[in-house]
Amino acid sequence: MSTPATPTRKIQKVDSVTIRFVGDSGDGMQLTGTEFTKASALAGNDLATFPDYPAEIRAPAGSLFGVSGYQLNFSSKDIHTPGDQPDVLVAMNPAAFKTNVADLKVGGMLIVNTGAFTGPNLEKAGYKSNPLEDEALRQNYRLFAVDISQLTETALEGSGLSSKEIARCKNYFALGLMFWLYNRDAEHEIGNINKKFAKKPEIAAANVTVFKAGYAYGETSEVFLSSYEVPAAKLAPGVYRNVTGNFATALGFAAVARQTGRQVFLGSYPITPATEILHELSALKDHGVVTYQAEDEIAGIGSAIGAAFGGALACTSTSGPGLALKAEMIGLACITELPLVIVNVQRGGPSTGMPTKTEQADLLFALFGRHGECPVPVIAAQSPADCFYAAMEAMKVAVKWMTPVILLTDGYLANGSEPFRIPDPASLPQVKVSYQTQANGEKGEFLPYKRDAKLVRPWAVPGAAGLEHRVGGLEKDSLTGMVSYDGSNHEKMVRTRAQKVANVVEDVPDLTVSGPAKGKVLLLSWGGTYGSVRTTAELLQAEGKSVAHAHLRWLNPLPKNLGAVLRSYERVVVPEVNSGQLAFYLRASFPGVDPVQFNRINGKPIKTFELAAAVRELL
């Protein structure tokens, strides 16, 4: 192949495309998706991705529940979601076809590996006959039947590879074809393949051959009448990298370690979909991070609290079931007033629920799910890249206010990705650490619970001579920290701890609204629904509708102006991936405010066209 795309056919310009790659978990769809993503980023598109894989690690080949997918939305415009319905579906086998075809836009492009539509595979997917022969299918979609399996085999004839190894290359055929279809830089990808498989040159060579074959198929076969081009988006100038939410969370914590020169300590226990935070931070040991994989969820947070007592900037990462196990420990961090960030990557619940699917159903649990009066600040990240800033902010608040902070993300943010503009270090949230070095009592004694004007107690860490003190779970005297069973002291301490957390509001920016400052409808999102709700609002605004959008990042304390904002609109719509938890919280917090709920609990992000339709009904 000479240069990328010596087009012999016309190139159509399009604004935005959503592609979904689906196949067996062994088909390499995640790799195909990420490679295509990288190429789109290099081409200057704005983008957002979302992988969707089964809970089983290696589900039986060809089975319906073993289907793995990767969706990518790339655009010449500013986008906020991986897209609702794909414009293009690349399906590698009947099971993948069956579980995804209904999502494809009518008139969308359907590229199918016919080589996998054989008797046994059709049977595993529950088909009695070949669905590709269905006339209705051809009427609804633009079907491109390509025998990718056979074409891959042909390309690798005489390569000496086993048939199993050859079968594993076929995702590169699909990738090559898509590279041609969207005029991506093929030479660059060939470099990537060689780098990725540097240790296995024969596999590298095979993948390159198949990739080129896929590219050439697009170019030479008469199947595709045109190829497409999505022009570069007008992104803010700067250096970018693509980040998933989990990676960005880890990066945020490591940035805190670098910024402060203090140790960041992560105590954690593996749990889907939060585990990558532990992986990523474990790899960042050279940046001042200490990670500790504990024996269970409880010890994960326990080790972090122990490290916090020792002066570390401590955090723990988990998902819903783990947060439940950590609840008692959060109470201890609250009563001892030690800084700590608890990251909860929400997933479908209750119990084991749907571990690989997203949900926002831990909001009320994060706010209230502890025994006793135990308020903690709660922040929720709004996009994969925002996880970076949210992690830094959560740590900033934890340390400044000597309190545990819960950071909520979700499976959708954690695994989804988007470009992250590398920030100027000076612009980052500043985490300021100061340890007590001197006695603060009138008699020269150290009083660990003597507070400053903001009600924050001092942080004295082992090694500081003369400041030896004890902290613990028993209620403590309001100055000395020694055990106190005095009722009035307890009341004072409960109220003081609550007031301190309420004071955090000074670090919570006022809510900003995009769209009219008053009007018919306000869409209020929180956490991972930001992208879908934002897109919906933009869509409706473009239609000339009086719709505004505001997004809540801090859930406790709530922004000072929230009540006023809510009361500026006739209707407040709260879209959530739960059965109405923020709506419930708003009703309780702002008497008279009765939001309209829009709820989906299907393990997937909210679809903009569904939300837009619901909002149109209100207007």
Q: Name the site residues for other proteins (rule: CB under 8 A).
A: 38, 41-42, 44, 235-242, 251, 254-255, 258-259, 262-263, 265, 267, 284-287, 290, 292, 294-296, 298-299, 302-307, 309-312, 314, 328-329, 332, 336, 421-423, 425, 461-474, 482-483
The Cα 219–Cα 2 span in angstroms is 12
Q: Which is nearer to other proteins, 70 or 265 (CB)?
A: 265
Indicate the residue type of 11: I
DSSP string for residues in 152-169: HHHHTTTS---HHHHHTT
The end-to-end CA distance of the chain, in Å, is 55
Q: Which is nearer to other proteins, 114 or 480 (CB)?
A: 480
Can you list the pairs that 97-101 forms with residues at least 24 positions away whose Cβ atoms lie under 8 Å?
Answer: 97/22, 97/125, 97/131, 98/64, 98/125, 98/126, 98/127, 98/131, 99/22, 99/64, 99/67, 100/20, 100/22, 100/67, 100/69, 101/137, 101/141
Q: Is the dihedral of CA 232, 238, 242, 248 positive or negative?
A: negative
Indicate the residue type of 231: P
Give min distance, CB of 230 to other proteins, in A.
15
Give min distance, CB of 33 to other proteins, in A.
15
Can you list the pairs that 423-429 forms with residues at least 24 positions away whose Cβ atoms lie under 8 Å?
Answer: 425/259, 428/255, 428/259, 428/389, 428/392, 429/389, 429/392, 429/393, 429/396
Give min distance, CB of 464 to other proteins, in A.
6
Q: Which is nearer to other proteins, 176 or 302 (CB)?
A: 302
DSSP string for residues in 333-387: HHHHT--EEEEEEE-B-STT-BTTS---TTHHHHHH-SSSS----EEE--STTHH
Q: Is the distance from CB of 361 to CB of 333 less than 8 angstroms?
A: no
Give min distance, CB of 362 to other proteins, in A.
22
523: nearest Cα among 457, 473, 570, 458: 570
Q: Is the dihedral of CA 379, 384, 386, 388 positive or negative?
A: positive
Q: Which is nearer to other proteins, 346 or 417 (CB)?
A: 417
Q: Which is nearer to other proteins, 290 or 596 (CB)?
A: 290
Give min distance, CB of 287 to other proteins, in A.
5
Helical pair 245-260 and 275-282, crossing angle rounded to 10 deg: 40
Q: 543: buried, middle or exposed (CB in 10 Å: 19+, 13-18, 0-12)?
A: exposed
Q: Which is nearer to other proteins, 96 or 312 (CB)?
A: 312
Give min distance, CB of 267 to other proteins, in A.
5
Give min distance, CB of 414 to other proteins, in A.
17
Q: Which is nearer to other proteins, 266 or 540 (CB)?
A: 266
Q: Which is nearer to other proteins, 471 or 552 (CB)?
A: 471
In the sheet that holds 289-293, the strands lie side by side as 289-293, 264-268, 313-318, 340-346, 404-410, 378-380, 554-556
Indicate the residue type of 103: D
Give min distance, CB of 251 to other proteins, in A.
7
Give min distance, CB of 74 to other proteins, in A.
13
Q: Which is nearer to other proteins, 16 or 356 (CB)?
A: 16
Q: Which is nearer to other proteins, 338 or 367 (CB)?
A: 338
Give min distance, CB of 310 to other proteins, in A.
4
Q: Which is nearer to other proteins, 405 or 467 (CB)?
A: 467
Q: Which is nearer to other proteins, 335 or 379 (CB)?
A: 335
Contacts (Cβ under 8 Å, ≥6 apart) of 400: 432, 456, 507
Q: Which is nearer to other proteins, 261 or 591 (CB)?
A: 261
Give min distance, CB of 468 to other proteins, in A.
5
Q: Which is nearer to other proteins, 140 or 263 (CB)?
A: 263
The Cα 292–Cα 269 span in angstroms is 9
DSSP string for residues in 35-85: HHHHHHHHTT-EEEEEEE--SSTTPPTT-GGGEEEEEEEEESS---SS-SS
Give min distance, CB of 419 to other proteins, in A.
8
Give min distance, CB of 247 to other proteins, in A.
9
Token pair of 363 as six digits:
């909001």
Residue 77 Cα to chain centre, angstroms? 21
270: nearest Cα among 296, 244, 243: 296
Give min distance, CB of 39 to other proteins, in A.
10
What residues does 477 pair with on adjacent strands? none
The Cα 88–Cα 32 span in angstroms is 14
Per DSSP, 457 falls in state: P
Give min distance, CB of 304 to other proteins, in A.
6
Contacts (Cβ under 8 Å, ≥6 apart) of 582: 363, 524, 526, 552, 555, 574, 576, 595
215: nearest Cα among 184, 194, 191, 188: 184
Which 3 state secondary structure label does DSSP give 572? strand
Q: Which is nearer to other proteins, 65 or 435 (CB)?
A: 435
